[in-house]
Structure 1
Amino acid sequence: MKPIRILWLLLCMAGVILPMRYFIPWLQANDWDIGAMIDAWHVNDASSGLVWDLTVAAVTLTVWIVYEAVKTRNWLGLIAIPATYLVGVSLGLPLYLFLRSR
């Protein structure tokens, strides 16, 4: 495996582990209330700005993935879309780059 593909995999692992080590304990302590988590993301202007930044990045990544999947028939790359929305851009982007570089 090429070194760049190993780097994409390492970034995928970081993209899952780092956010989930905060999200899972918070959700457990708050009865898995997704609505409360969304409210917590908007506790101040700085965090709201970050939410919008990541939302725009996620939508942009989704458009890129769909565009390339249709153009190149690389349907496997589409699995990066649910990864993006279930975990975050921190997983979706390196996963897509890993799949794209095969």
Structure 2
Amino acid sequence: MVQVIYFLLCILGFVLPYSQLIPFTLEHGLDIKLFFEQLFANKISGFFGMDVIVSSLVLWVFVFWEGTRLKMQNLWIYVACNLLVGVSLGLPLFLLMRQRQLEQHNS
């Protein structure tokens, strides 16, 4: 059951952020400067931007620490998902695969 929840969170974690990124990209292209200007346009958006950056760093440490401990393969994939989409995909995907690894180990 927990794997289904993680899988559904992966879908939400991909669809919701990209529902915002795709229209931005269609309107402005891959304008990284504008992206960061808008991300830090005010204190509230800056708060969320900094939160996501710190959460990403925490995710990377967790992925490599826990993934290495559990002898999981291809840990770079979760960092790539984090960079291409966000913590909203990288974290539930890692938790899904971690759960599978734990269940295989306990079998």
TM-score with structure 2 setting the length: 0.88
User: In the alignment, which residue of structure 2 is the partner of 1:58?
Assistant: 56
Q: Which moved more, 1:6-15 or 1:76-85?
A: 76-85
- The one-letter code matched in structure 1 to 2:87 is V
- The one-letter code matched in structure 2 to 1:70 is T
1:40-94 superposed Cα distances (whole Å, 9 cap, x missing partner):
1011000001101111111001001011222222124441111011100000110
Number of residues of Structure 1 aligned to a counterpart in Structure 2: 100
What is the alpha-carbon distance in structure 2 between the residues aligned to residue 77 and residue 11 of structure 1?
19
User: In the alignment, which residue of structure 2 is the partner of 1:33?
Assistant: 31
1:19-98 equivalent positions in 2, closer than 5 A:
19-98=17-96
1:16-41 superposed Cα distances (whole Å, 9 cap, x missing partner):
00010111111110122122111110
Gaps of 5+ in 1: none
What is the alpha-carbon distance in structure 1 between the residues aligned to residue 63 and residue 15 of structure 2?
23
What is the alpha-carbon distance in structure 2 between the residues aligned to residue 59 and residue 32 of structure 1?
23
What is the alpha-carbon distance in structure 2 between the residues aligned to residue 33 and residue 65 of structure 1?
30
**Percent identity, aligned pairs only?**
31
TM-score with structure 1 setting the length: 0.92
Contact 2:67 2:98 in 1 (8 A): no
Contact 1:27 1:37 in 2 (8 A): no
Gaps of 5+ in 2: 101-107
